[in-house]
Amino acid sequence: MAKSVLADRDTAALVCGRFTSSQRREAIGERFEVAVPETYSERFNLAPQQQALIVRDQDGDREAVMAKWGLLPRWAKDPKIAFKMINARAETLPEKPAYRSLISKYRCLIPADGFYEWIVDEDGKKTPIYFQLAERTLFAFAGLWTSRTDEQTGEIVESCTIITTTPNELVATVHDRMPVVLPVDLESVWLDSAVSKEHALGLLKPYPASLMVAAPASRDVNSAGSDFPGLLVPDNALAA
């Protein structure tokens, strides 16, 4: 019988350590009412430190840019800190120096169509479980973003983090945290810098379990180098 990945300390530290953004550029642009950069590509296994699409508000207009997944604060001296900042806990955002200064004006949407969490089988192998909306449609994680200038190259580095919260009943069978999935009608509210940070923090709730589905995926997801549509199919289905 499989057990929750909570029993595995190394992996348990990662909440939403991989996700998918597998829809076409045009579909994402239409869904989020934004021009998506041509550098965007469909992803079936997006991993930390890779480039993710974010949607943010810039002077009242929506803007989509690619950003490194793993927040890199302007004050951080060691870029490796970003590996520890792929997720930000909703409950402690106002307390953490890296996040509290971003809550008011640096909120973003991170378009996705699913995310992975893991269970550990009796043989010790980790099996990814793929979570989607029941309608298999695009959605947005609540995120924060920042930017800084690389001292060596002069390049502007955009980075982001996904906010997590307590799990709904479906995700709780696998992990004790889940990424914040925003209802469609609250996406604009989250982006609006005129909305107070207190109001914005109140939006960070678990998405209803009744509106989500979950199924095993291929163990090839475990390799960050794997990125193809077949990852969404469990290994035993491919062998059948």
3-state SS string for 200-223: HHCCCCCCCHHHEEEEECCHHHHC
| Topology (CATH) of 3-220 | hypothetical protein yedk fold (3.90.1680)
Q: 86 near 52, Cβ under 8 Å?
A: no
Identify the active-site residue in 108, 117, 158, 160. Answer: 117
State the DSSP H helix or E strand holding residue 117, giving kind and residue range, or none if neither. strand 114-120
pTM as predicted: 0.91
Has 108 been annotated as catalytic? no
For the question of residue 16 being annotated catalytic, the response is yes
The domain limits of the chain are 3-220
DSSP assignment letter at 225 = T
pLDDT in tens, the chain (240 residues): 344 443 333 333 357 799 999 999 999 999 999 999 999 999 999 999 999 999 999 988 999 999 999 999 887 777 777 778 999 999 999 999 899 999 999 999 999 999 999 998 888 889 999 999 999 999 999 999 999 887 778 889 999 999 999 999 999 999 999 999 999 999 999 999 999 999 999 999 999 999 999 999 999 999 999 999 999 999 866 444
